[in-house]
Structure 1
Amino acid sequence: MKLKKFLISLLMITFAFSSIAEEKVLKDQNTEFSVYTGMFDFSDDGKKSNLIGFQHQNENLNRDTFLGNLSPITGFLFTADNAGYIYTGVQAQYKLGALNLTPSFTPGIYHEGDGKDLGHLIEFKSELQISLDLSKTSELGFSYNHISNASLGDKNPGANSYMFNLFKSF
Structure 2
Amino acid sequence: MDSRFAVFFFIMGGLDTYLNDCEAKCLQESEAPARLSIQYGDTYFQEEVIGDEIYGIYDLPKRYGAFQPTFGASLTSDDDFWIGAGGKWTTERVSDGPFFIELSLMPGVYFSGDGPDLGFPLQFRGALGAGLRLDTGSSISVFFDHRSNANATETNPGIETLGIRISQEF
TM-score (norm: length of structure 1): 0.76
| Contact map agreement 1:31 1:169 (CA 8 A) in 2 | yes
Q: Which runs of 5 or more structure 2 residues have no equivalent in the other structure?
A: 1-30
Q: How far is the alpha carbon of 1:30 from its aligned partner?
A: 2.5
Within 1, Cα distance between the matches of 2:167 and 2:64? 21
Unaligned stretches of 5+ in structure 1?
1-26
TM score, norm. by length of structure 2: 0.76
1:35 counterpart residue number: 38
User: For the Cα contact (< 8 Å) 1:42–1:49, is it kept in 2?
Assistant: no
Q: Calculate the aligned-residue CA RMSD, in Å.
A: 1.7
1:96-135 residue pairs with structure 2 within 5 A? 96=95, 97-135=97-135
Quote the residue 1:52 is aligned against.
54
Q: CA deviation at 1:86?
A: 0.3
Contact 1:125 1:146 in 2 (8 A): yes
| Percentage of pairs with the same residue | 25
Shift, 1:63, TM fit: 1.6
Of Structure 1 and Structure 2, the greater helix share is in 1
Aligned length: 137
Which structure is larger by alpha-carbon Rg, 1 or 2?
A: 1
Select the residue among 80, 90, 94 that pairs with 2:91. Answer: 94
Contact 1:42 1:161 survives alignment (8 Å)? no
Of 69-78 and 134-143, deviating more is 134-143
Give the letter for the 1:141 counterpart: S
Which residue is equivalent to 1:18? none
- SS of 1:85's equivalent? strand
Contact 1:42 1:162 in 2 (8 A): no
In the TM superposition, residue 70 of structure 1 has moved relative to its aligned partner by 0.9
Alignment of 1:68-83 (within 5 A): 69-83=66-80
Aligned twin of 1:137: 137
In the alignment, the residues of structure 1 paired with residue 150 and residue 140 of structure 2 have an alpha-carbon distance, to the nearest angstrom, of 31
- Runs of 4 or more, structure 1, over 6 Å off, are none
Q: Output one character per residue of 1:98-151: Cα deviation in whole Å (capped at 9) or x when no partner.
A: 111110100000011001111100010111011101124100001001111011
